[in-house]
Amino acid sequence: MEQPKNNGPLAGLKVLDLSIIVAGGTASSLMADFGAEVVKIERPKTGDPLRNWGPFYKDVSLWWKVHSRNKKSITLDLSKPKGQSILKRLANEADILIEGFRPGTMENWGVGPDELLAANPELIFVRYSGFGQTGPYKDRPGFGTIAECMSGYISMTGFPDSPPVLPPIPLADEIAGVFGAMSSMMALYHRQSKKYSGQGNTGQVIDVSLFEPLFRLCIPHITMANLLNLVRERVGNDFPDAAPRSLYQTLDQQWLGLSATSQNTWENLAEAMGMSEVIDDERFKDNAARLENKDALNVILQQYLGNLNLETIMENLIPAGGVVGPVYTAEQIMTDPHYAAREDIIELEDSELGNTKMLGIVPKFSRTPGSVDHAGPTIGAHNLKVYTEWLGLSPADISDLESEGTI
């Protein structure tokens, strides 16, 4: 069945994704959601290692199906000279190339930035690695887990009397993916600006490590350590810079998030709970006082919230400006009317999974919305289409390349 065409803001943009697993794939997935033609280059026969990540349905990785939606899959052995030659030709047709090999690998194959930008000066060359292309750690192997540890983030997670806690998702990889997509758009804007100003079209290399994007989001901790000699420690569910903010258990054994980290929000919350006297309590009169006495404040809030069911709390506090919300599971998300109204969960037909639900498009564009046209493809599903349309190869040429193991 012919798939609908994505007419998002990146329609017409050509992206080659040579990366594996999550980080680079997140960047290209975001681009594909908004109309870019993303061609995923995979190893012949084995494909991207992400295909081996569980959970599986009908022996198919659900990670792959969601993460590689809207992408085309072709196979190409980059370790072979003929494969490298074909990559050069593909890169000449591309706007963006994303790779995730260890530093120096692309250069050793003769397809590094110098070679590819010499042939295509407009190319945006995005490089993912554990520790970046420079520095004493550049040759170390690196996955997102190590990036999370070395970014400073993990040292701040968990409770004071417990070990640090790793996130249950590949957080560093996914944040690096967002940074890679964002920086690619910056580079494209620069390229277009130069073009319109008559200075020529200028591509460039973007060096994205896995540890630095998450490090960048741990915003004040370096300056705090430098100026105050203050090292951020584990504080559980509290926020160390403003209070109250934590999780509380309700009478019906649900968990509720609450945040009142501005003075106005705090006063509205206290009024809505019928505890206006705490507004003038010296222990809670301003944010500094509330931080100093946050344990006592949490006890007061837990006593109030623990005597009411979740639904009652929401009905009482939200109309008065209380910033509260339930801790959701995936099942609860799928039945929530707001998620439905925002089209955050979509349904589509897939040849392997059948009818399935997955995440919708985020964010929402008013003029050029993105769309999900298909789930992640089978290995090499688009060899014929891409190699004929991009390079003008004949079906016989493609058959020969398949026979010799190049694709």
Confidence (pTM): 0.95
What band does 199 get if pLDDT is binned at 50, 70 and 90?
Answer: confident
Look at residue 322 and tell me if it is in a domain: no
The answer to the question of residue 246 being in a domain is no
Question: Rounded to the nearest 5°, which phi and psi values hold at 312?
Answer: -65, -40
- Specify if 360 maps to a domain: no
Q: What angle do CA 295, 299, 300 make, to 5 degrees?
A: 120
Domain that holds residue 158: 14-217+367-403
- Which of the residues are catalytic? 173
- Considering the chain, what is the average pLDDT of its residues? 96
Establish if 233 belongs to a structural domain.
no
CATH number of the domain within which 161 lies: 3.40.50.10540
Q: What residue ranges in 286-371 does DSSP mark as E strands?
A: 324-326, 345-350, 354-359
Q: Which two tokens stand for residue 140?
A: 């170390």
Q: Which of 163, 131, 158 is nearest to 144 (CA)?
A: 131
Listed in sequence order, the residues at least 6 apart from 288 whose beta carbon sits closer than 8 Å to its beta carbon are none
The pLDDT confidence band at residue 200, using thresholds 50, 70 and 90, is confident
Confirm whether 132 is domain-assigned: yes
Give pLDDT tens digits for 167-182: 999 999 999 999 999 9
CA distance 227 to 90: 50
Structural domains of the chain, count: 1
Is residue 1 pLDDT above 70, yes or no? no
In this structure, of 190-194, 212-216, 238-242, the range with the lowest mean pLDDT score is 190-194
Q: Give the confidence band of 7 by pLDDT, cuts at 50, 70, 90.
A: confident
Q: What number of other Cβ atoms are within 10 A of residue 2's Cβ?
A: 5
What mean pLDDT is predicted for residues 145-160?
97
Give the model's pLDDT for residue 2.
42
Sequence-ordered list of residues with C-beta below 8 angstroms from that of 60, at least 6 positions apart, any chain:
352, 353
Averaged pLDDT, 66-94: 98
